[in-house]
Amino acid sequence: MKIAILSQKASLYSTRRLKEAGEQRGHQMKVIDYLRCYMNIASHRPTVVYQQKPLEDFDAIIPRIGASKTFYGTAVVRQFEMMGVFTANESQAISRSRDKLRCLQLLAREGIGLPVTGFANSTKDIEGLIEIVGGAPLVIKLLEGTQGIGVVLAETTQAAKSVIEAFRGLDANILVQEFIKEAEGADIRCFVVGDKVVASMKRQGEPGEFRSNLHRGGTAEKIKLTPEERSTAVRAAKTMGLKVAGVDILRSNHGPVVIEVNSSPGLEGIEAASNVDVASKIIEFIEKNSAPKKTRDRIQS
């Protein structure tokens, strides 16, 4: 097969691993910087042009769209979909998962475990918002944040009020969440491919840090999931319409709760911690599912 990896940089670990795994399985792999693609969208024959040449004969694409490039990246993915090219994740599913609030609303609709979460536009409603999540301590998150940046633990109601006011004063969208203290600074990343969790790891924040992000100095190790955690992760990915997803779960007193579903989960941490060749799992999935014209999003919102 001829497979394109849509990525800004061929040297990124995940991109390199996907290319390597595909080549090992006998495929022709090409890394394409989606920001350098341009498109004829009004034609009867939709095309994507890269380095002055139309990209015509690809069987499948693997989108690795950066969080800050969602708008253009998903437009390129959509164009490939219109050309009938199979995509590991569909454009709609990527856009959907990039909106944290929309993501949580859809997961709630499916009855998937979530931390109690509140959202409001006006700072006049702060008290009510704090009440919804059961008061301090609570977690405040910038809707546009990634890698733990913009995730704040407010230990007292007064601190919570100040932080919410400050964020809202900057016109930032935030959500307020119940603090899952019993997670003890750890979360679980479940790597879902198709309808299976193919690898998982537990990430633990530095001592005194409630955020477990590896970018914030957290460490990762292999973990055995409970059947409930496994099914929660698979259901969460399915709800978002993602076929390749990183589902982040906290172990709470009321069972596993999902905090995030990521459409371009990194391979470096998970492959090292779990010892699973995740890149090959993704390629195998594409081999099994990429019959022409199979791309179709079935989620209603």
DSSP 13-69: HHHHHHHHHHHHTT-EEEEE-GGGEEEE-SSSS-EEEETTEE----SEEEE---GGG
| Distance, CA of 111 to CA of 114 (rounded, Å) | 9
Residues of the shown chain interacting with ligand ADP in the complex, contacts defined by CB under 6 A = 115, 139, 141, 145-148, 151, 177-180, 183, 187, 210-213, 248, 250, 259-260
CB 155 → ligand ADP: shortest distance, Å?
Answer: 13
Cα–Cα distances in angstroms (integers) from residue 183 to residues 128, 186, 219, 256, 281, in the given order: 25, 6, 15, 10, 29
Task: Count CB neighbours of 188 within 10 A.
Answer: 23
CB 211 → ligand ADP: shortest distance, Å?
Answer: 4
Q: Which is nearer to ligand ADP, 61 or 164 (CB)?
A: 164
Q: Which is nearer to ligand ADP, 29 or 180 (CB)?
A: 180
| Distance, CA of 105 to CA of 251 (rounded, Å) | 20
CB 101 → ligand ADP: shortest distance, Å?
Answer: 12
Q: Which is nearer to ligand ADP, 81 or 178 (CB)?
A: 178
| Distance, CA of 201 to CA of 189 (rounded, Å) | 5
Q: Which is nearer to ligand ADP, 150 or 194 (CB)?
A: 150
Q: Which is nearer to ligand ADP, 183 or 197 (CB)?
A: 183
Amino acid sitting at position 70: T
CB 301 → ligand ADP: shortest distance, Å?
Answer: 22
At residue 142, what are phi and psi to the nearest 5 degrees? -70, 130
